[in-house]
Amino acid sequence: MSTGFSPERILIEAGAEGLPMTQRILARLPDVPVETLHAVGPWVRRMRRKADLAQVAKKWLVISQYRGAFLKKCPGTQGFVCCNYWVVNAATGCPLDCTYCILQGYLGNNPMIRVFGNTDALFSQLASVFAANRRRNFRVGTGELTDSLALDGLTDLSRELVPFFAGHPNAQLELKTKTDQVGNLMDLTHRGRTVIGWSVNPPSVIASDEQGTAPLAARLCAAQRCCSAGYPVSFHFDPIVLEPGWEEAYREVVQQIFETVPARAIAWISLGGLRFSPELKPIMRRRFPESRLVCGELVPCPDGKLRYLRTLRVPAYRQMLGWIRELGPQVAVYLCMESRDVWEAVYHRPASRIRELAGLFG
């Protein structure tokens, strides 16, 4: 059983001191030093001049208020197929430490783990958007800029989100994680409106490049618990790492999934090859000098990211799709951040004509 996040220091931005989430976190961490700042930005700039901010970014927790729109359309890439996903950024930064994590570059100027305590504004915004668009179905995730459950033991955010989505028939929530922290979910009323999702990889990849995450067996055990509580579940093979012996390793993961949870409980499975921006490569090399990921044969693609050659990705996706189809013929399987021509090469038809994906792409 993996443990929840416990920071070494808490920074509270002025105005967030009295928020219920702030008080809940402080009550659970009575021995952690607390500092209140007018604004965290100037403090971060000062720290950057004095030390490597990455060394403290995953050890300190910032609590503040978010002033913008919590709900946003997933930032797709022109020319790539979008899966009709919306994101809620209720936190940024992640206590887990995956070699390939895009947050190392994306949040480079402010990599601190930050939670936004003004959940009243979050739920007010969501309710307003869902009510104003009753004919639109919203598929919403919270895992774009953080792991959806890695901080849940402190914030209890899932205990508010899940019942909220249970009351909105035109919205579905996905909580995507690499942890086994599902204890908060077991007694909630969800009405099937929340999907609990796991990013999965073979144990060898998890051990070498997903530091601080739960082992594969623990993730699958957590998925089984969620199925027993009536939740639909999802799995994300993303990133798929194409290294010698990958076929046997990934086929074994597919088999373990279907041995652990019934196919009817799987809402969807996604496939995505290893990819990252060129700017991330030197960061990965500096922070994880032993990682073999930076040594892979990745090439620049039209979206600016480094990826495996299409001649490698397409056969890999076809094999993964075939293994999944053998065990779960009706499970929705989609490609994450891939071009239309790759979709057609894998499925032999565009995403819009794949019947089992109608609920995701419609």
pLDDT tens digits for range 315-343: 999 999 999 999 999 999 999 989 889 99
- Give the pLDDT score at 312: 96
pLDDT at 360: 73
Is there a domain that residue 164 lies in?
yes
Domain annotation covers residue 212: yes
The pTM (predicted TM-score) of the whole model is 0.94
Which 8-state DSSP code applies to residue 214?
Answer: P
To the nearest 10°, report the CA torsion of 6, 7, 8, 10: -130
Q: What is the reported pLDDT for 30?
A: 95
Query: What are 126-169's pLDDT values in tens digits?
Result: 999 999 999 999 999 998 899 999 999 999 999 999 999 999 99
What digits encode the pLDDT tens for the residues 97-129?
A: 999 998 887 655 667 899 999 999 999 999 999
Nearest alpha carbon to residue 184 among 213, 226, 140: 226
Residue 105 domain flag: no
CB 212 within 8 A of CB 93: no
Sign for the CA dihedral angle at 56, 62, 67, 72 comes to: positive
Helix, strand or coil, per DSSP, at residue 93: coil
Would you state the pLDDT for residue 52?
60
Of the candidates 79, 326, 342, which has an alpha carbon nearest to the alpha carbon of residue 334?
342
Cα 291 from chain centre: 21
Instruction: Confirm whether 47 is domain-assigned.
Output: no
Domain count within the chain: 1
Residue 23 included in any domain: no
Tokens of 258: 């279907």
Question: Per the domain annotation, does 194 fall within a domain?
Answer: yes
The range of the structural domain enclosing residue 312 comes to 69-93+118-361
Ordered mean pLDDT values, 10 residues apiece, the chain (362 residues):
75 95 96 90 69 72 94 73 85 93 74 92 97 94 94 96 97 98 98 98 97 97 98 98 96 98 97 94 91 90 92 97 97 92 91 75 60
In a domain, 56, yes or no: no
Taking the CA atoms of the chain, what radius of gyration do you get in angstroms?
20
Q: Could you give the C-alpha distances from 237 to 198, 262, 272, 317, in angstroms and in order?
A: 9, 18, 6, 10
302-311: long-range contacts, CB 8 A cutoff, minimum separation 24:
302/79, 302/339, 303/77, 303/79, 303/80, 303/337, 304/277, 304/278, 305/275, 305/276, 305/277, 306/275, 306/276, 306/277, 306/278, 306/281, 307/273, 307/274, 307/275, 308/242, 308/273, 308/274, 310/342, 310/345
Question: How far apart (Å, rounded) are the C-alpha atoms in residues 231 and 266?
Answer: 9
Tell me the two tokens of residue 99: 């070699």
Give the Cα-Cα-Cα angle 216, 221, 225 (nearest 5 degrees): 145
356 contacts 332 by C-beta, under 8 angstroms: yes
Residue 311 lies in a domain: yes
CATH of the domain at 344: 3.80.30.30
DSSP state of 296: S
The pLDDT of residue 1 is 37
pLDDT at position 50:
54
DSSP-derived letter for residue 84 is -
Q: Is the dihedral of CA 80, 82, 87, 91 positive or negative?
A: negative
The Cα 239–Cα 156 span in angstroms is 28
What is the pairing mode between strands 91-92 and 113-116?
antiparallel
Pairing of strands 333-335, 138-141: unpaired
